[in-house]
Structure 1
Amino acid sequence: MKSLWTLALSGLLLTLSGGVQAEQAVGCVEVTVGGYKAPNYDCLSQQMGNNPDGAAAAQKNQEAMNVPVNKRPPNQVGLATPAATSTRMGNTFGTSVKPQRPPN
Structure 2
Amino acid sequence: MKQWMRMTAGLGLLLALPWAQAEEAPACIEVTVGGYKTPDYNCLSRQMGNDPQAAATAQRAREALDVPVNERAPNSLGLVTPAATGVRMGNAFGNSVKPQRPPAAPNNSPLPK
TM-score, structure 2 normalization: 0.57
How many residues are aligned here? 88
Decide whether aligned partners of structure 1 residues 54 and 100 sit closer, same or farther in structure 2, where only a CA change above 3 A counts. same
Higher helix share: 1
For residues 44 and 11 of structure 1, the distance between their equivalents in structure 2, rounded to whole angstroms, comes to 36
Question: Deviation at 1:15?
Answer: 2.4
Report the Cα offset of residue 44 of structure 1.
Answer: 4.0
Partner of 2:14: 14
Query: What amino acid maps onto 1:63 in structure 2?
Result: E
- Provide the rounded CA distance (Å) in 1 between the counterparts of 2:89 and 2:45: 53
Q: What RMSD, in angstroms, separates the aligned Cα atoms of the two structures?
A: 3.3
Q: % of aligned pairs identical? A: 44
Could you tell me which runs of 5 or more consecutive residues in structure 1 were left unpaired when the two chains were aligned. Answer: 31-39
Separation (CA, whole Å) in 2 of partners of 1:15 and 1:91: 84
- Alpha-carbon distance, 1:58 to partner: 2.0
> For structure 2, which runs of at least 5 residues remain unmatched after alignment?
28-42, 105-113
Structure 2 partner of 1:102: 102
Give me the TM-score of the superposition, normalised by structure 1. 0.61
